[in-house]
Amino acid sequence: MTQHLTDIASLPEGAAEALIRRAIELADGASPRRLRGEVAHLFWEPSTRTRVSFELAALRLGLGSVQVDPSRSSSTKGETLEDTVRTLAAMAPAALVVRHADAGAPDRIVEWTAGTGVVVVNAGDGARAHPTQALLDAATLAHEGIDWPSARIVLLGDLRHSRVARSAFALYRRLGVVDLRMAGPRALMPESDDAAFDGVRRYDDLDAALADASVVGCLRIQRERIRELALPDDATYHAAWGLTAARAERLPADARVLHPGPINRGIEIDPAVADGPRSRVLRQVAMGVHLRTAVFEWLLGAETDTRSA
C-alpha cells in the first residue's frame, strides 16, 4: 500500500521520531540518499518556504522536480481539481506535493490517485493540517536537545484559522509534551469542541500563558481565511496579543521563539524579537529543507534508493 503524508495522524507509530532524527542527521552534514523519479509541486495557495524547500529537497536527492502553476494550468479553463490531479498522476510522477485552500483536499487526492503508486504529500490544506511544518518545528527544537516531557509550549495568535497549530499540537502530544497552551483574542480562538485542541490549556491572559514558557510559537493572523470578523488595528493587536520586546524580555533565559512564517512584523511579533537571540525563525527555515528531504527519503526511498549507483 502506498504511504502518504496528509496529516500527523497519517504517520505510522515511530515515523515522526524517525523523520526528526533523520532531519537532524542531515542538518549535521549527513549525505542525502540518491533517489529516482520526479516530484510535481502543486501550490494552489501562495508559498515561499514550503514550496522552495520541497523543491530543494527533491533536487538534493537527485529527483526531478516540476512546479505546476495553477494560474497557468487548465484549471483556469474549467478543469476540475479531480481531473487535474488524475491527469498529472497519469504522467507517473513519484510524488505530488499539494497545497490547497480546501481542508481535506490532500485526502481527496489520495482517493483520486489510488492504485497509481503516486505518493501524496500535504504542504498545507486550509486551516486543517500542515504536517511538515510541525515536523520541522519539532526537529528544530530537538536539534537543540529539548526535553519533550518537561517542555512548556505556548502558541499565540490566530489559533482558529491555523493549520500550523492543529498539526503542531497533534505532533507535540505524540512526542510526549504535557504542558500545551494557547492564547489569543476570543475571536481567533478555536471552538471549544475542536478536537485538534483537546488537552491544550486556553488563556485569555497572554502574560499568564507566557510565564515560565520554554517555547513560544507566534502565529500570523490568517486574513485570507477570515470573512466577517472585526479585528483591532495592528498596533492595538500587537500591544494586546503580540510577542512584544517587553514580553520576550520576561521569558525564561532559555526560552525559544518560533514562527512558521511569513512574519507580519509589528503585529504578532516585534521585529527585534523576530531577529533576536531567542528567535529560531531562520533555523526553522533551514530545517525545513532537511525535514522535507527526510520525508522524500522515507516515502520514496524503499524502491528507488540508488546509493550504490
**Residues at the site binding ligand CP, with contacts judged by CB under 6 A:** 47-51, 124, 133, 260-262
Q: Is the dihedral of CA 12, 13, 16, 21 positive or negative?
A: negative
Closest residue to ligand CP, judged by C-beta, is 50
C-beta closer to ligand CP: residue 89 or 141: 141
Write down the least CB distance from residue 32 to ligand CP, Å: 21
Write down the least CB distance from residue 176 to ligand CP, Å: 24
C-beta closer to ligand CP: residue 23 or 89: 23
Nearest to 95 by CA among 300, 263, 284, 305: 300
CA distance 210 to 251: 7
C-beta closer to ligand CP: residue 125 or 297: 125
Write down the least CB distance from residue 131 to ligand CP, Å: 11
C-beta closer to ligand CP: residue 54 or 203: 54
Write down the least CB distance from residue 137 to ligand CP, Å: 9
| Beta strands at 119-125 and 179-183: parallel, antiparallel or unpaired | unpaired
Write down the least CB distance from residue 237 to ligand CP, Å: 20
CA distance 242 to 235: 9
C-beta closer to ligand CP: residue 242 or 261: 261
Write down the least CB distance from residue 48 to ligand CP, Å: 4
C-beta closer to ligand CP: residue 57 or 89: 57
Nearby residues of 254 by Cβ (< 8 Å), 6 or more positions away: 214
Nearby residues of 44 by Cβ (< 8 Å), 6 or more positions away: 70, 98, 99, 100, 101, 105
293-303 CB burial, b ≥16 within 10 A, e <16: bbbbbbbbbee
What angle, rounded to 10 degrees, do the helices at 81-90 and 105-112 form?
50
Residue 256, φ and ψ in degrees, nearest 5: -115, 145
